[in-house]
Amino acid sequence: MEKAINRQQVLLQHLNPSASSFLSHQNNSALSASACLAGDSAAYRRTNVFGDDVVIVAAYRTALCKSKRGGFKDTYPDDLLAPVLRAVIEKTNLNPSEVGDIVVGTVLAPGSQRASECRMAAFYAGFPETVPVRTVNRQCSSGLQAVADVAAAIKAGFYEIGIGAGLESMTTNPMAWEGSVNPRVKQMEQAQNCLLPMGITSENVAHRFGVTRQEQDQAAVESHRKAAAATASGKFKDEIVPVATKIVDPKTGDEKPVTISVDDGIRANTSVSDLGKLKPVFKKNGTTTAGNSSQVSDGAGAVLLMKRSVAMRKGLPILGVFRTFAAVGVDPAIMGVGPAVAIPAAVKSAGLELDDVDLFEINEAFASQFVYCQKKLELDPQKINVNGGAMAIGHPLGVTGARCVATLLHEMKRRGKDCRFGVVSMCIGTGMGAAAVFERGDCVDELCNARKVETNSLLSKDAR
């Protein structure tokens, strides 16, 4: 702005009747240089902000497979992450050395071990030693947190290109508490509730908010039905990266080479009557069963983000725009309600209303909390998890956020101009929720932030 004012002063000096009198009368001159109250021209400011958008140019995942007995039961975690990291680079022809950071959401493995595995996976994927890697753990939202962290870093100017990823092998690292628990926890109910089994929190939600067993089983059936339909129609092919691996026969030890490219937990023929035969898992007279809970799974995902100006310069197609992110805290005893709090917070931050959102990907940790959040927010069922959710596809904790971003953005792309805004959200163990708002990549408003000028006689507001 200072340079602009200096240029104005030079021009005004030439416009004055007497250049010699400019210095002595510049304070009293009818012509003076000042900053226009509107700032730079609206068109320029629009272009400037537009170019600074954080956009997603690629989002991929592996298939999600049942832990202990699925397609990835004999696959090392780093061999799950490497293929998706490689895919986001190869499919965009991006030089891997240009990536400023790789942030991997992951939950269950020991921190230092998983950090090493992620660094190893980056090398396997072809990244040079100059590209750093770190992990992040916000439990079930870790994959989404990784994407949000990269978006924030790009916005802050730390780098222009980054990858938010997710990795979990629940075969290798099952859910378990290691070591002793601080006895002090008994002195505070909220602290105690942080240790509740997730299934008990599901029962608490169902009991407190009146979510019936019938509603939960029906939601599970719908999840499987939609996921099976999406698989059969080839919708997931746009987001799934095939992984060449092996299956080991537990009896003979024989290894069989396989390529995994389909989620293996989806049951197309699941019915309410079948699910009704399952016994509650966490509470004798409860309603939460193995059939209406998310599947324990293995998998990985990766999302490539960059400034819009960089993507445009490189000629890369823009899959989506990262708009806002919100993480919130809720009562640990009913942690599943997290999305019902996080979604409104994120949507409000984006300057939108819930009705403006065209698609939702809400993680189905348990049918009880999924049904509650849908009813609480009064969301149109036709907008939620249109290709199924975690009860059918699976929930590898650190991957789910990245998986949901990939599923959401590819579906928004398929739907075109009638689908502009999407939301990814999930509940989080110990009582939290997270949500992020995305915009379809090819959406651009017409210029609408310029002040309406009634006459053409004024150069700026300062001339009045």
Residue type, 444: V
Please give the Cα distance from 88 to 94 (Å, whole number): 8
Task: Give the contacts of 163 (CB within 8 A, at least 6 positions apart).
Answer: 85, 88, 99, 101, 102, 103, 150, 302, 303, 304, 305
Residue bearing tokens 């904790």: 397
| Structure-token pair, residue 355 | 């009705």
Task: Give the contacts of 458 (CB within 8 A, at least 6 positions apart).
Answer: 464
- 65 flagged as catalytic: no
- 14 flagged as catalytic: no
Q: Is 13 helix (H, G, I), strand (E, B) or coil?
A: helix
- 395 flagged as catalytic: yes
Looking from the CA of 385 toward its CB, the CA atoms found within 13 Å total 28
Task: Give the contacts of 161 (CB within 8 A, at least 6 positions apart).
Answer: 94, 98, 99, 100, 154, 304, 305, 306, 307, 310
| Structure-token pair, residue 151 | 């978006």
DSSP per-residue codes, 20-34:
GGHHHHTTT-S----
Q: What is the DSSP letter of 69?
A: T
Please give the Cα distance from 88 to 95 (Å, whole number): 11
| Residue in 140, 373, 404, 419 annotated catalytic | 140
Please give the Cα distance from 85 to 104 (Å, whole number): 10
| Residue in 395, 404, 410, 419 annotated catalytic | 395
Q: Please give the positions annotated as active site.
A: 140, 395, 427
